[in-house]
Structure 1
């Protein structure tokens, strides 16, 4: 244990803060353990509910504490979610506990009460304890769990304006994007100042139900009101989804009133609380000693009724919180958060993109040529890429809201990537423990050309047939499915099989020469509708199919166009269109000749033997070398712009020109997909408003 800590300290540096140290420890996986059941549920996009453990270690005596923990976990499971009780055992944060681990915490004689402040110490000393609301929120966020159920949150203590006794729960709600479902706060606290403090921290507070009355744990009404209320689980989920999509970095507090059948007992308990508070003042008890005295005295005065009511509250919160977690998953799968509903168009909503998401590090040298073996002066920047991610990003910005299916690790890079992609429907992105988020490092020349690239893409192989099959219904009803070449061959074969069965058009976007051949290793390619290779990838595919390929690579543009059309011809026996990307020379559209154009539309397609094929060449939009900032996402933007036009029902000419507009904007952007892309900047109206280089025609001989 000490060896791991020492190693991590060396990486962090002696001046790093506790937070930086803890974050780095978490991200290296040595101090955070996610239970397999929780990890599997997260990877499968199933609902998960985080639970705290101070109720086990400090909230109730044994065996009531163990029984309550087991009952709450059982309620969560019965409600269709996976429980993830958080605790600290032997210097590691556990997200999800086994039966033996629950028993260990319940029987512990002197467990540590672990708040956010205490985490570094507990972990460095190898201690065990129960996590408070603030520590549980921290761990839940690291694991990717958005919903956390507890009994009640802490608050501003009475007299807090002079003692500064304010619970860390409140500041945690202000800086950690997790939704906390609780019964409000105990009336022994200053509820008015607690709500004011939450407002200062930017925390959205809503009462669950038809009233805005803010509950006081044992009482359904505290005399104060919440800013908002949510009538049911779906409204609560929509509120949480909107908060997460905005990327505010703060949490949401859902306050659940005590059940009606417990209200009478709650009133009796409230009277006991007031009496206990009076006694504490008479005895001169102050500061942090007040709360334990009052809780013990209330239990005595109510002859244990407060303990029973406490357990009933937690059970009720577990039911409500599990329902919210389920509704949140449903909203994500449907792509129906309020912002998504406003953005998307009905007939475009069922598009699906399956492919990679990377964190890119782009280094651009300040000279025309890259000199190997020495340091090249230049600039280095971070961006977010991956062919699949670029396509989904671009489509989203152009008014389509595709479901994006991919895989990320559980690390800082994945958190950054998801934060950047909040405008996208990423409900199909799995979070995988013990796997690294894909990274790509590219060194480009002053002209924007790739000099050398290094990629760590192993996680893309985790986008398996088994995982993707969870979205089979979406695939079977999609308006378009787009695959990138990073995903496994078996996944491509599976999706092509679904598409063939349900007559769903599929676009295959290759990522390099080797990966371009994946669908063509079997008959899966015959289920494709669209294929967008460059000339080298097109040659490789013909070779994979055992077709003759000229030994000499053409050099002149006329020869390139002729070669591309000839190599596309055999593929068009089954494909609707081959889109050959030509870099600075634009794009060649190859397909059936229909009224002097290549047809991209139509519910079904089958090439007629003897039918006339043609190729239409669209030159690229002229751009000077000095204006090219980044070439890494231009091809993806071209494809996505073309797809967006297709999904809007535009003619082929408009579709291709929308793609060229999107590519031009991305060439001028530091990001692979230009943030300036929108349905306004790339649209049929923008196409008609521009003067375009003349389109040329290449007819077969």
Structure 2
């Protein structure tokens, strides 16, 4: 019979509805209470749905955790099989490997009639496929799916690097190993491989070049420091390999030593030397064959690596002095401020505020009009400055009265990188606020923003390259955004994208560098547009609750999240839906309540920018994601209670 199409199975519920069961009930996902309060009325999938439940359970976090464990187990079995010199023992290990994978397919089926052959030995896979074919004939099953791949031995130190945030300074991969596969494993498990030297070619211990490339090459230890700091800030659990080629003056001995290594490996095989005796034997034999040359080279490698590691450690521990106020002139502080660069428009805001029932009748309504500084990036820059960051603003203003107003109201921000454009007006924005909600706004930004080119970013590339975080405003022209993302991607900088409105979401996709964005915060409408651009079909009612948004993101995480580590969907008075990666690299889903009750809101302008800034400030001050989100909520709450775009109550004290 044909394989069942489970999306067309009738629902378990006794309630007659048109929906089909395609989602797992959230109560039975990881972290759920395992008790659905709707019982048989629930239209989502429960364990009692049998095969339908098994079809979906394979995509849960539990499945992926178990898959990781089974891969590690198989890797260890392959390692034992490789070093064993006993033929019978090798066969036993192979049998255990194949039986383990068969059992895995029975216990954790990815889908009905779906078989994962990854890790099996060649003969084991052949036997398994023959058994599957026999079973299909008996059961009259016409279609089965096989997932195949080539297995390879995994060293314990590689596994450790994939789960421990440590920097290993070394001379590359030993030539006695399978270098391409070693590099592939490290890349697959998010371990940074960096070549410190000329050319992106990994060294192979005694020789300066192997046939493999790393993900990254640099001649600057400062770039390595930024990479390590960013990884730490984001709580990434993976290690970094800094491969340092053998010094040039010792490279001439490389070929001689490599020949000796090849001979020593052959002798080890011939003499049945196995397990932990292999490496000591090879090193000793190579020293004999080279008449001590390998020992001298080995010592030179050690000294070179130690020197680089020492300089790297010194730069990691470096602290730049902050500005000393008059009151603290005798108490110099060596605590550095995290550096955040905000790029976008500087706008002078005018907001008309009323609590009356406004109608489209041409009438006049009682209220007030306030003037303040605004602009998405400028708001972030001010809030970040208030939160103890070294806040640098890259933008442009006109040589006019509004430009002067901007300069007079930027005491918390470094505005030395803001260009003044003649014959162009400073950007302005008029918002109409009715009972705490901005009904619409009118902006005059195009005349000035259209003059901004990638040259502005190139002129400020130095500050971008040494930043801890970059905030990017989508109001900017696409070429300028593309240049910013290009630099950020090259130097592996964290980028928070603020979409600003539904029509500007597509800009970042137009750059072709959306994968350089590591955090973003769309509102409800912007999220719907984001999903559309990611080719995810969404019912607009999904944004009526944070839980619905989270369920969609969990289902479509690979397409929606792209390369982001933090994804925040703000839903006004419905709160926010937050997805972030924890220290283990696993996704966590969280619904946040609104920062403030709507009846206490004075103005929503700038609240989202204050929230983002609080999160960024928390992350760059080495707080956890949860703590940073709490800080963001508090910053938003304070701004919601004022007509200012950024509340003056936001101070570094909030970080304590």
TM range (shorter): 0.3 to 0.5
Normalising by the residue count of structure 1, what TM-score does the alignment of the two structures yield? Answer: 0.45
